[in-house]
Structure 1
Amino acid sequence: MGFEQWMAAITTHGAMIAATSTADLGVPVPSCPEWTAADLICHVGAVHRWATARIVGDDSVRSYADFPAPPADELTDWYRAGLRGLVEALGTRDPDTAAPTFVGERTVGWWARRQAHELTVHRWDLESAIRPGTQQVVDAEFSADGIEEWLDVFAPRFLSRSGGVPQHLHRATLHLHTHDEPVGEWLVELSADGLTWSREHMKADVALRGSAFDLLLTLWHRRPLSAVDTVGDAGVAAELLDLIHVT
């Protein structure tokens, strides 16, 4: 999985979001409580602009909150403009070029990966709201990359924000296992120092098994734990996911 695949995902999923009908903008988004389709599109469009600012070195932008929502009748055009700007910024730079991020200095390629998975999840949110039951499934390889991005970026970040790993979860382990091809397996270990993970098969306190996409959606709280097979202490998985809750 690399830069070309991330760029393809940004283009594909971004186009799906941009095609949202004005008539659907007021539809509630069940997987993002208190959001409508318009709120979701505003969020993603603002995140695109924020990412673009980081990529091009525009230090005047502090966060995605710097981009207010446009009027409803201008929303999809505003979103398309933000998507075009992001694709241009990413496509005209070497993926290995250094770029600031919300987790320190990384690369342009890091932003491509982040925006690809941002769009994957929020495109699913939007389809679930507007056309429930018809959501596109993302392939196993791309979903596995999303799982690893969640483990790399969001799990440690939000564990730290929530005060770290609770003492009773020190030494707790979680095994993630996909059953589609290519098979992916990850061992997650918790300690006083936070969360570490490795690609390996090993018995853990709890194992979550399912398709790579179902596991990805479960980690992002888009589907309940019951959407995947759970073997062992489900309470460990539930508590860990409660500590890492991102919209």
Structure 2
Amino acid sequence: MEPQRHLEILLAEGHRLAAMPPDALDAPVPSIEGWTLERVVRHTGKIHQWVAAVLAAGPEADLDQVSSSLPGIPRGADCLPAYGEALQVVHAALAALAPEEQVASFVGPTTARFWQRRQAHEVAVHRIDAADAVQAVGGPPPEPIALDCAADGTDEWARVFLATRWNQRFGEFPEELEGRTVHLHGTDIDAAEWLLTFAGGRVLVDPTHAKGDVALRGTAQDLLLALWRRRPLDLLEVHGDQELAERLVDLARF
């Protein structure tokens, strides 16, 4: 996906989140224990505020210092318009940057393209959380994530979080994963396949069709949401080593 498309997704999904019904703010999120719709809205708004502040602080930004000076999102019904304001601020900040402009991030120095992508997927998944909460109290089912967004979200999950962020936070992958392979396949869009190979305490990501020790197949959205533990693994077709599939999803806590 190109940066402009990420910005479109950010705005579209953010508007959906901002439009959640105020009378459902106490509704629990089925897939995240202890979370409510209100917590999803406030959390996502705070992330928008933080990213905008990181960008404003420049490529040498101290992320901890930025985190300590955010205005936050109010509780109660006011969280929804406050979220909408935070969305507009971060969208404007990201739209003002050339994709290759240098910025700070939680994975180290990178380019604006990173945040343009990350914010699109941040709000897309959390919008599903919010819509799941609304559905759980009698609302309509969630509108689907755009196919290209869902497939790109899995690519980001594999490359940024599994192949980069996991090692930064936890060190090497467990030794029992050495040499193991996982094939991911989004079945309803082209070019949505990845082979994950665990080697040398890390994971290599190859966007290709290849046989793995286990294959996880499903729609692009189901695959993305299962990897982020928003949907049960048994929503997917799992061919091969079921325990390896379960281990992968269990480890993927970033």
- Give yes or no for TM over 0.5: yes
Structure 1 equivalent of residue 176 of structure 2: 168
Report the Cα distance in structure 2 between the residues aligned to 1:225 and 1:98, rounded to whole angstroms.
Answer: 37
* Counterpart check, 1:134 vs 2:138: no
Amino acid in structure 2 at the alignment position of 1:141: D
- 1:78 aligns to what? 82
- In the other structure, the counterpart of 1:123 is 127
- Corresponding residue number in structure 1 for 2:159: 152
The residue type paired with residue 131 of structure 1 is Q
CA distance in 1, matches of 2:124, 2:204: 25
- How far did residue 192 of structure 1 move? 2.8
Q: Is the 8 A contact 2:30 2:133 kept in 1?
A: yes
Kindly report the root-mean-square deviation, in angstroms, between the aligned alpha carbons of the 2 structures. 1.8
Query: How many residues in Structure 1 have an aligned counterpart in Structure 2?
Result: 246
Q: Distance in 2 between matches of 1:145 and 1:32?
A: 23
Counterpart CA distance in 1 for 2:166 and 2:128 is 22
Find the counterpart in structure 2 of residue 219 from structure 1.
Answer: 227
Code of the residue aligned with 2:142 in structure 1: it is Q
- The one-character-per-residue Cα deviations of 1:62-88 (angstroms, maximum 9, x if unpaired) are 265754441324211211111111011
Asked if the contact 2:9/2:149 (under 8 Å) is kept, the reply is no
How far the C-alpha of 1:144 sits from its partner, in A, is: 1.4
Q: Name the CA shift for 1:65/1:173 in 2 (closer, same or farther; >3 Å).
A: farther
Structure 2 segments unaligned to the other structure (5+ residues): none
Give runs of aligned pairs for residues 31-70 of structure 1, distance below 5 A: 31-57=31-57, 59=61, 62=64, 64=67, 66-67=69-70, 68-70=72-74
Matched residue, 2:194: 186
Quote the sequence identity (%): 34
Gaps of 5+ in 1: none
Q: Which moved more, 1:139-148 or 1:223-232?
A: 139-148
List per-residue Cα deviations over 1:186-222 (Å, max 9, x = no partner).
Answer: 1000123311110112211100011111111111001
Asked if 2 retains the 8 angstrom alpha-carbon contact of 1:221 and 1:245, the reply is no
Counterpart CA distance in 1 for 2:142 and 2:44 is 18
- Write the distance in 2 (CA, Å) between the matches of 1:159 and 1:136: 34
CA–CA distance in 2 between the matches of 1:64 and 1:126?
Answer: 24
Tell me which of 220, 230, 240 is aligned to 1:232. 240
Counterpart of 2:12? 12
Question: Over residues 132-189 of structure 1, what are the superposed CA-to-partner deviations in whole Å (9 max), with x where a residue is unaligned?
Answer: 5611222332211111100111113135534431111100100011221324211000
CA distance in 2, matches of 1:84, 1:158: 30
Alignment TM-score, normalising by the size of structure 2: 0.90
Structure 1 length as normaliser, TM-score? Answer: 0.93
